[in-house]
Amino acid sequence: MTESTVKTSDVAVVSCPKYTPESARAALSEALSAVDGLSCIKPGMKVVIKANLVSGKNPDTATTTHPVLISELVKMLLEKGACVTVGDSPGGLYNAARLAAIYSATGMKMCEEAGAQLNRNFAQSDGKTKNGLVLHDFKYTSYLDDADLIIDFAKLKTHGMMVMSCAVKNMFGVIPGVTKPEYHSRFPEIERFSDMLIDLYENFAPCLSIIDAVYGMEGNGPTAGTPRYVGAVIASKNGHYADMAAAEIMGIDRRKLPLFCRANERGLCPNSLDELTVYGDLEKFRVKDYDLICDASSDFSLVVPKPLAWLSDKLLRPRPKLTPKKCVGCKICYDTCPKHAIEMVNGKPHFDYDKCIRCFCCQEFCPKGALHVHRSVAAKIINGK
C-alpha cells in the first residue's frame, strides 16, 4: 500500500476470515493502514480500548468484541510504545465482582496476556458535554480520565431499539451500568435518544472506531441473537462512517436508522457512502438476508404520516414480548425497566404497553433470551416482510 492510499481512505472494510491471531493481525494492519489509524499513537500514551462487553457470554455467541481481535490490537499499540487498558461498563452493576465474571466469560484474559490492563477502577465521575445538543450533564466511568486516546472497538449487531448496534452506539458504554436506564427516561423519544448517543460519542471523540464483523449477531440482538458470518473488519477514524459501512453490509436502509438520520442532519456524515473513500471491496461482504430485528426504528412516526400516529402506535410499533418457557423469573427485566412498565405476575413479566417507551432494555438485559422484539403482522406488511 502506498502512502497516498493511506491518507485518502475514510473507511476500510477488509477481510478477516477467522478469529486467529494471524488473520486478526493481517486484517487490523491492513484496515488501520488504510485509514491511517495508528499514526496518532505516540510512545508513552495511555490508550483505552472501549470494547463491547455487554454481557458475560462466550465469544462464540457473537455478543461481545472478540478477544483475539482486541489482543492483536493491544500488541500493535504496545509496539508503538503505548500503555493499553481495555474496559467497558455493561448494563447492571459496575463493580469488581461483576466485571471479573464478564472478563472471564468473554475471554478478556487473552488481552491481559497480550500486555493490556483490564480496567479495575470502578469509580464514577460527573461530566459536562462541551457542545452537546441534548446532553449536558452525565455520569461516566472514571477510568476514561486516564486515557490520552480512546479506541472504540464495537461489534456488528442488531439492536431492538436502534436497529443496529455498532460504533457510535458502543460509546453508550461510557455510562455506568446501573444508570443507563435513566437515560431512556430522560430521552424517551428515539430522535432525542439518538442525539444523546451522538453527544456522548462526540464528547469522548474516539480517535478510531473499529467494528468486529467477522461474526456479527443477527436476529434477537444485541445479546440474544445468533452469530452470522461476515468475515470482515471495518475501521474508520469516524464512527459514523464505520456505521454507514456496517449498515450496508447488513442491508439496512440508512434512512430507517435513527442514529444515522440525526448524525446526517447534524452534518456529521454524508448521505451516502459514495461521498466517502472506501478502502476494500464492501460488496464482497454484503449479507443479503441478514436477519434484522426490525426494519424501522421503534418510532414508526418515521414512516407513518402524523394523522395516523395514534393508530400506528397501537398497531405498528414493535413491543417486547415474552417466550414464557425460557423465562426463569429472575426479575432483571422488572428491575431494568426505566418506566416501571413491567409487573411480575406469578413469576413472569407482564407489560403495560401504554407506559412502555420501547427502549428494549428488558430484552437486552434478559439473561435467558426470553424476550424478543415483536412486530405485528400489519407492521411486517408495511415493511415489506
Q: How far is the CB of 158 from ligand SF4 (least distance, A)?
A: 16
Q: Is 53 or 337 the residue whose CB approaches ligand SF4 more closely?
A: 337
Q: Do 366 and 332 meet the contact criterion of CB atoms below 8 Å apart? A: yes
Q: How far is the CB of 132 from ligand SF4 (least distance, A)?
A: 23
Q: Is 187 or 360 the residue whose CB approaches ligand SF4 more closely?
A: 360
Q: Is 162 or 234 the residue whose CB approaches ligand SF4 more closely?
A: 162
Q: Is 221 or 320 the residue whose CB approaches ligand SF4 more closely?
A: 320
Helices (H), the chain: 3-8, 21-34, 67-79, 96-105, 109-113, 167-170, 180-186, 190-204, 239-250, 258-265, 309-315, 332-336, 361-365, 377-382
Let me know if 309 is exposed, middle or buried by CB neighbors in 10 A (0-12, 13-18, 19+): middle
Q: How far is the CB of 376 from ligand SF4 (least distance, A)?
A: 16
Q: How far is the CB of 219 from ligand SF4 (least distance, A)?
A: 16
User: Rounded distance, CA 88 to CA 222, Å?
Assistant: 15
Tell me the CA distances in angstroms from 302 to 105, 134, 242, 258, one per residue in order: 39, 20, 23, 9
Tell me the CA distances in angstroms from 268 to 96, 239, 246, 332, one per residue in order: 37, 10, 16, 36
User: Rounded distance, CA 192 to CA 13, Å?
Assistant: 30
Residues engaged in binding ligand SF4 (CB under 6 A): 320, 322, 327-333, 336-337, 339, 341-342, 349, 351, 356-362, 366, 368, 370-371
Query: Dihedral angle at the C-alpha atoms of 111, 239, 169, 179, nearest 10 degrees?
Result: 70
Q: Is 76 or 333 the residue whose CB approaches ligand SF4 more closely?
A: 333
Q: Is 21 or 188 the residue whose CB approaches ligand SF4 more closely?
A: 188
Q: What are all long-range contacts of 118-123, with beta carbons under 8 Å and residues at least 24 apart?
A: 118/85, 118/86, 118/87, 119/48, 119/85, 119/86, 119/87, 119/88, 119/143, 120/96, 121/146, 122/94, 122/95, 122/96
Residue (of 381, 383, 367, 374) closest to 351 by Cα position: 374
User: Rounded distance, CA 52 to CA 344, Å?
Assistant: 30
Q: How far is the CB of 362 from ligand SF4 (least distance, A)?
A: 3
Q: How far is the CB of 318 from ligand SF4 (least distance, A)?
A: 9
Q: How far is the CB of 333 from ligand SF4 (least distance, A)?
A: 3
Q: How far is the CB of 98 from ligand SF4 (least distance, A)?
A: 16
Ordered DSSP codes for 290-325: ---S-SS-S-GGGTS-GGGHHHHHHHTS-EEEE-GG
Let me know if 307 is exposed, middle or buried by CB neighbors in 10 A (0-12, 13-18, 19+): exposed
Q: Is 13 or 333 the residue whose CB approaches ligand SF4 more closely?
A: 333
Q: How far is the CB of 90 from ligand SF4 (least distance, A)?
A: 15
Report the SS3 class of residue 206.
coil
Task: At 323, list the grid cell.
Answer: 417466550
Q: Is 15 or 336 the residue whose CB approaches ligand SF4 more closely?
A: 336
Q: How far is the CB of 138 from ligand SF4 (least distance, A)?
A: 20
Q: Is 77 or 357 the residue whose CB approaches ligand SF4 more closely?
A: 357
Q: Is 324 or 384 the residue whose CB approaches ligand SF4 more closely?
A: 324
